[in-house]
Amino acid sequence: MALLNAQGVTKRFGGLLANDSVDLAVEEGQIVGLIGPNGAGKTTFFNCLSGHLVPDAGTIIFNGRDITRWPAHRVAQAGIARTFQLVKSMGGLTVEENVMIGAFARVDDREEARRKARQVLELVGLLDVADMYPGELPLAVQKQMELARALATEPKLLMLDEVAAGLSPEEIEGFAGLLRKIHREKGLAMLVIEHVMEFVLPLSERVYVLAGGRKIAEGTPDEITNHPAVIEAYLGEGYARAHKR
Amino acid sequence: MKIWGIIREAFTFSDLSRGERIGLALLLGAIAVFPWVVKDGFARTVAVQFLYYAMLGLSWNFIGGYGGQIDLGGAKNVGFGAYGVALPMVLWDWPFWLGLPIGVAFAVLESLVLGLGLLRLRGHYFAIGTLAVALVWEELFVYSEWTRGARGLLLPFKRAPDYLYMQLTPVGFHYFIAALFVFSLLWLNWFRRSKLGYQLRAIREDEDAAASLGINVLAAKVKAYCISSVVAALGGAFYAVYYGFIDPDSVMHLDLSIMIAMTALVGGAGVLWGPIVGAAVLIPLDRYLGAWFGGGGILGMDFLIYAVIIMLLAAYQPKGVAGLIEALVLWRLKATGRSTAGLRAVGGR
Ligand SMILES: Nc1ncnc2c1ncn2[C@@H]1O[C@H](COP(=O)(O)OP(=O)(O)O)[C@@H](O)[C@H]1O
Ligand SMILES: [Mg+2]
């Protein structure tokens, strides 16, 4: 059985159907990509999964439990961690403290939380900026910190919302490497919303495509790049050509 | 043992800078010797009021400072503490120590119920809600015959010192409020480095991020709000026996709510010693100006002006005086060419 199984997830904002009966599954340890043009409803779908929004219809089964209407903190404790499209770094807390907040999801003792936070910071390579404030650091580092913070909650499923947006090609490269390393070491499942195809396709085992709130395709990265509906809706000729070469 | 761990934490100030620790030590030393050095009655009164308001400011810091939830109704909890002691004492001649838990328990229960409703609100809606509820309580106490309405309660007179009824000598009262103040300081010191304290700081920064990291935002806020109410109610209980007379005007008035928030915000909200500095600035200013001008001091000002000042401070300079000191330190480091990375904390992290 899949680790995450979302079926018929529907979310309306007034007259706008932001998610129209979206189905999506993530297997244990799998990296799944979720792509689609701006306004496709990807972030809305994430918010429904993470409990920041309550879907109007549909069911979300995670780890054998129906979490459809759970509040965000319960979803997090059940093992789904996420990052945000617009980084939410808690600016009044140091990098280490930010990550400690994540660690407190599993432990009560401060020094234990600090130890765990420092372990995760080492994993993502941020130990040397542990005592700095997020505002003193470039966006790429803040995104790494948000990733570390999410990891510190010891999730079974990590959901990343446009982690590459706003980063330079080198930084994107670094981030992809980092995600691979984390996947290798922790074996956790990931659901990756992305805009930058070069980033998400090589990373994913499976890719879902949203457009206009609806799932228009799903398959392996190869299948997706060659899918006519996807090319039309989103990828554009340029990318498909580049990949055939 | 868990309790020893908590006590050890409460007494641990090692994350503060050396200057801060020296400052705190000097303050505690001064409080300890004050009644022996200063014999002037008025100055002693001002000292007691300083400790009283500093304590109330510390209570505000739990929810308003570390949690970022602007509470504009703190006086109601002071009132519950004061009436909890005064009412049974007047009606049934109950000693202080029997009335105290009643007032505190009422404050906690009321804050629990109110918090579960109001703390769902975000931003300034919580501030407005607390303000409105505190006003309702004040009116209830003014119009209720049971609490003797606006006439207030005059406590039965005992021969001082009486430790059952806590009717003490001036020196006794000084140490009584000093003990309560130190207790509040230690509690806040434990809190700010506890899991709950970290959670409140995360909530202050971003509620969505906090929730995504497994924090039950409402539950954490309600807990801090209840702790805050305990400390404020203790202050109110002290006030009742210190003055021997209370009425809604002295322990439930909007001015008091405003003053509590101001104490923390002027000194530094979310900074351990912020409310102490705030009280040290505001109380002598208020009392001496009031004495000189014969008016109501700065408390005589329109509360609307205060409300505006509070909102502005909360939005732009919540760290108050502490924030200015911090800025000064950073500026000096920069001027001497040293790195300021990560050096942005006063009152510990
Ligand atoms: N809170 C909201 N209220 C109203 N409309 C929203 C809200 N959030 C998103 N939308 C709308 O829903 C659609 C999908 O948005 P979103 O999920 O952010 O897309 P994506 O992340 O794929 O770019 C957009 O048209 C957006 O304007
Ligand atoms: Mg989005």
The DSSP string of B169-203 is: -HHHHHHHHHHHHHHHHHHHHHHHTSHHHHHHHHH
Per CB-CB distance under 8 Å, the chain A contacts of B211 are 51-52, 71-73, 76
More reliable by pLDDT, A240 or B157: B157
Query: Chain-wide mean pLDDT for chain B?
Result: 88
pTM: 0.91
Mean pLDDT computed over B241-270: 91
Q: Is the CB of residue A76 less than 8 Å away from at least one CB of chain B?
A: yes
* Tokens matching residue B140: 């209830």
Q: Is the CB of residue A91 less than 8 Å away from at least one CB of chain B?
A: yes
Q: What local confidence, expressed as pLDDT, does residue B342 receive?
A: 61
Whether the per-residue pLDDT at B298 is higher than 70: the answer is: no
Ligand 1-lining residues (CB < 6 angstroms): A 13, 16, 18, 36, 38-44
User: Which residue's CA is minimally distant from atom 11 of ligand 1?
Assistant: A18
Reported as a pLDDT band with limits 50, 70 and 90, residue B160 is confident
Angle at CA of residue A80, ends A78 and A86, nearest 5°: 140
Residue pair B260/B56 in contact (Cβ under 8 Å)? The answer is yes
Q: Is the CB of residue A133 less than 8 Å away from at least one CB of chain B?
A: yes
Q: What is the ipTM of this complex?
A: 0.92
Q: Which residue of B has its CA nearest to A50?
A: B212
Rounded to whole angstroms, what are the CA distances from B305 to A232, B123, B262? 60, 20, 12
Q: Is the CB of residue A136 less than 8 Å away from at least one CB of chain B?
A: yes
Per-residue pLDDT of chain A (245 residues; tens, 9 = 90+): 799 999 999 999 999 999 999 999 999 999 999 999 889 999 999 999 999 999 999 999 999 999 999 999 999 999 999 999 999 999 999 999 999 999 999 999 999 999 999 999 999 999 999 999 999 899 999 999 999 999 999 999 999 999 988 899 999 999 999 999 999 998 999 999 987 777 888 899 999 999 999 999 899 998 888 888 777 776 554 555 555 44
Q: Which residue of A has its CA nearest to B68?
A: A92
Q: What local confidence, expressed as pLDDT, does residue B148 receive?
A: 87
Q: What local confidence, expressed as pLDDT, does residue B22 receive?
A: 94
Cα A42 to averaged position of ligand 2 atoms, centre (Å)? 5
Residue pair A62/A78 in contact (Cβ under 8 Å)? The answer is yes
User: For A50, which of B210, B212, B341 is closest by C-beta distance?
Assistant: B212
Q: Which domains does chain A have, with CATH numbers?
A: 1-79+157-178+189-245 (3.40.50.300), 86-154 (no CATH)
Angle at CA of residue B41, ends B297 and B28, nearest 5°: 90
Q: What is the pLDDT of residues B57-98, one digit of tens each?
A: 999 999 999 999 999 999 999 999 999 999 999 999 999 999
Q: What is the pLDDT of residues B301-328, one digit of tens each?
A: 556 666 777 778 777 777 888 888 888 8
Q: Is A196 helix (H, G, I), strand (E, B) or coil?
A: coil
Q: What is the pLDDT of residues B94-152, one digit of tens each?
A: 999 999 999 999 999 999 999 999 999 887 899 999 999 999 999 898 888 888 887 88
Identify the CA nearest to A135 among candidates A197, A93, A163: A93
Per CB-CB distance under 8 Å, the chain A contacts of B271 are none
Whether the per-residue pLDDT at B206 is higher than 90: the answer is: yes
Q: What local confidence, expressed as pLDDT, does residue B345 receive?
A: 61
Q: Is A11 helix (H, G, I), strand (E, B) or coil?
A: strand
**Interface contacts (A, B; CB < 8 Å):** 88
User: Which residue's CA is minimally distant from atom 6 of ligand 1?
Assistant: A13
Contact A150 B215 (CB under 8 A): no
Rounded to whole angstroms, what are the CA distances from A170 to A86, A140, A141? 20, 10, 13
User: Which residue's CA is minimally distant from atom 16 of ligand 1?
Assistant: A41
| Residue B246 CA from chain centroid, whole number | 19
Domain residue ranges of chain B, discontinuous segments joined by +: 2-254
Q: What is the pLDDT of residues B12-53, one digit of tens each?
A: 998 888 889 999 999 999 999 999 998 888 889 999 999 999
Residues from B contacting A (CB-CB < 8 Å) are: 193-195, 198-199, 201-202, 204-206, 208-217, 270, 341-342, 344, 349
Q: Is A239 helix (H, G, I), strand (E, B) or coil?
A: helix
Reported as a pLDDT band with limits 50, 70 and 90, residue B349 is low
Angle at CA of residue B153, ends B152 and B159, nearest 5°: 150
Identify the CA nearest to B241 among candidates B85, B84, B92: B85
Per CB-CB distance under 8 Å, the chain A contacts of B318 are none
Q: Is A223 helix (H, G, I), strand (E, B) or coil?
A: helix
Reported as a pLDDT band with limits 50, 70 and 90, residue B300 is low
User: For B342, which of A110, A132, A149 is closest by C-beta distance?
Assistant: A132
Contact B212 A136 (CB under 8 A): no
Q: Is the CB of residue A94 less than 8 Å away from at least one CB of chain B?
A: yes
Residue pair A72/A51 in contact (Cβ under 8 Å)? The answer is yes
Whether the per-residue pLDDT at B254 is higher than 90: the answer is: no
Rounded to whole angstroms, what are the CA distances from A32 to A24, A192, B37? 10, 6, 73
Q: What is the DSSP string of B124-182?
A: HHHHHHHHHHHHHHHHHHHH-TTTTGGG-EEPPP-PSSBTTTTB--HHHHHHHHHHHHH
Per CB-CB distance under 8 Å, the chain A contacts of B208 are 52, 72, 84, 88
* Tokens matching residue B262: 């101001």
Residue pair A156/A3 in contact (Cβ under 8 Å)? The answer is yes
More reliable by pLDDT, B323 or B201: B201
Whether the per-residue pLDDT at B209 is higher than 60: the answer is: yes
Q: What local confidence, expressed as pLDDT, does residue A245 receive?
A: 41
More reliable by pLDDT, B321 or B185: B185
What is the Cα–Cα distance from B161 to A218, expressed in whole angstroms? 82
